Structure 1
Amino acid sequence: MKLNLQQIPRVKTITKKDFIKNYYKPQKPVVIENFIEDWPAYKKWSLDYMKEIAGDKVVPLYDDRPVDYKDGFNEPHAKMKMAEYVDLLKREPTKYRIFLWNIFREVPSLQNDYWLPNFGLRLLKSMPMMFFGGTNSHTFMHYDIDFSNIFHFHFEGKKECILFDQKQNDFLYKIPHSLIVREDIDFSNPDFEKWPVLQKAKGYSTELEHGNVLYMPEGYWHYMKYITPGFSMSLRAITKNPKNVAKALYNFIVMRQYDNIMRRIKGQKWIDWKNEEAITRTHKKNGIL
């Protein structure tokens, strides 16, 4: 048995009018296959190019270890030079990923390799983020704290993407006071005996290849798994939906602060309680005792 996923719609290219009408307003995901072929980055950007232009930069690395109460928000698990990291990606599978790295601050010349596409939304030029990963490395299922609209531009290799909207929260074993679900769920091959409610969740999936653009609407849960070594860049547009603005402010001002306070007071017991509570609440809402 597999997750209840439909393929994300794919288009070769798209006009601003059609994007707003068919995907932004209804808040539905889409993959645009041939939208950035006029970017210099389309032909230039590869792992080898990143090694050449940023090889001496020390990069933050993350793996799939469970959250520890001592971990700061987005605190890296390791660091190494970019050249060493690219060599590692090409040599063998590794769990280490680069997550939310603004490489453009350290290598400003890369900003000349792309420009903001006109999707009809105001994209934040100051917040391009890069993501790198090796074969079979993956992110936890999560959603972004600010409820932004995200455009995910993929370069080199293949990446599996699984998305859920916020209506699926009751089925995903969401961790309370957090932006993630249970970290021990393998969304590529879920164990429905252990996580039976997942069968009720309805989501989307796709595979990204070089040059593809994935639009992820506001608050969408996303799980990314690198089928082969590769990297992506994300650009974002801030939500204008009043409800999502309120949710984003709550996440920043209340949820994150409360979680940090409880980590300091209770330590690992707080993390363990949240993990157990994710199961208890999910099963209770779905009539499983």
Structure 2
Amino acid sequence: MERIQTKPIERVKDISKEAFIEKYYKPQKPVLIEGLTKEWPAYKKWNLDYIQSLAGDQEVPLYNNEPTKGKQYSAEPVMKMKLYDYIEILKTKPTDLRIFFYNILDNMPKLISDFEYPDIGLKFFKRLPAMFFGSEGSKVLPHYDMDLSDLVHFHFHGKKSVMLFAPDQTQYLYRIPFSVHNLEEIDLDNPDFETYPALKKLQGYEVIMNHGDALYMPSGYWHYIKYLNGGFSMTLRAFTKKPKTFAKMLYNVFFMRHFENGMRKLRGQKWIDYKNEITIKNTHKNLSE
């Protein structure tokens, strides 16, 4: 079976601030850094048992892989569950339920003392260290982050697969208008090149992340994530300093998101179906040109 064209993401063991800036940040090129977390308490402490021991009775919103429909918001949780019970599921059986953007400062500030903001030349926004949890086989819809931050993504407990696509690949990804994700029917693991021929031109990067690995994802990069077993990750973000990118971020956060949710409430499934149709039409039109 044909696959999406990808090449391995470079892996390095430790890196200086100067080398990171010159080789990866300035050219906006992804890299996986091994060893960046080995001096952190988190490297030895962070696993599902440890997080579960701190969970208490707090409830968390959970998301699944089902496309949102009708008048649902574009990113809407399907249920809530006690964090302790959810982690118990991760430890015992597969599930497509995921925790998305669990803010450490708000929900589990004790974890702050377990890690450091790495000195690699990025000015991290320290108000939003966020965690993400998933089970074996669960997938995260291909998307890019609305705030267009440079991201460093740290994985703990187990392994996960990550595909990345640079912003210039958006034309082949069937991006849905007024959103940051692609057509939800597309399966990048089993691409249907007949129905979605633009995928043949798509070129990306791919890597397997292990416990403690740190992945640099440049601003605007698409990411498609698949958990190979139950685990969790933490993302630190650095906001862009580029005026054009900053203006686009303001548009995404303060207009596009609210316009999209407003149209969903107003027109429901008709709006979603309309956008899906024009996505395919416009992508194939660009492909022929």
> Which residue is 1:148 aligned to?
149
1: CA distance, partners of 2:83 / 2:265: 33
> Which residue is 1:176 aligned to?
177
Per-residue Cα deviation, 1:27-74 (whole angstroms, up to 9, x for no partner): 000000111111000000000111111142211110011122432354
2: CA distance, partners of 1:180 / 1:163: 13
> Which residue is 2:37 aligned to?
36
Identity of aligned residues (%): 50
1: CA distance, partners of 2:262 / 2:86: 35
Per-residue Cα deviation, 1:212-254 (whole angstroms, up to 9, x for no partner): 0000000000011001111000000000111211111111233
Contact 2:104 2:128 in 1 (8 A): no
Q: How large is the Cα RMSD of the aligned pairs?
A: 1.3
2: CA distance, partners of 1:177 / 1:104: 30
Contact 2:72 2:264 in 1 (8 A): no
> Which residue is 1:237 aligned to?
238
> Which residue is 2:28 aligned to?
27
Aligned partner letter, 1:204:
Y
> Which residue is 1:81 aligned to?
82
The number of residue pairs the alignment matches comes to 288
Contact 2:72 2:265 in 1 (8 A): no
Tell me, what secondary structure is at the counterpart of 2:282? helix
Tell me, what secondary structure is at the counterpart of 2:73? coil
Normalization by structure 2: what TM-score?
A: 0.96
1: CA distance, partners of 2:238 / 2:134: 24
2: CA distance, partners of 1:122 / 1:33: 20
2: CA distance, partners of 1:234 / 1:270: 32
Aligned partner letter, 2:88:
D
> Which residue is 1:252 aligned to?
253
How far apart are 1:105 and its partner, in Å? 1.6
Contact 1:153 1:214 in 2 (8 A): yes
Tell me, what secondary structure is at the counterpart of 2:141? coil
Alignment of 1:264-283 (within 5 A): 264-283=265-284
Aligned partner letter, 1:9:
E
Normalization by structure 1: what TM-score?
A: 0.96
2: CA distance, partners of 1:84 / 1:152: 25
Tell me, what secondary structure is at the counterpart of 2:121? coil
How far apart are 1:158 and its partner, in Å? 0.7
Contact 2:65 2:141 in 1 (8 A): yes
2: CA distance, partners of 1:110 / 1:254: 34
Contact 1:60 1:101 in 2 (8 A): no
Contact 2:68 2:74 in 1 (8 A): no
2: CA distance, partners of 1:137 / 1:13: 30
Matched, 1:100 2:101: yes
**4+ residue runs over 3 A deviation:** none
2: CA distance, partners of 1:164 / 1:108: 33
> Which residue is 1:205 aligned to?
206
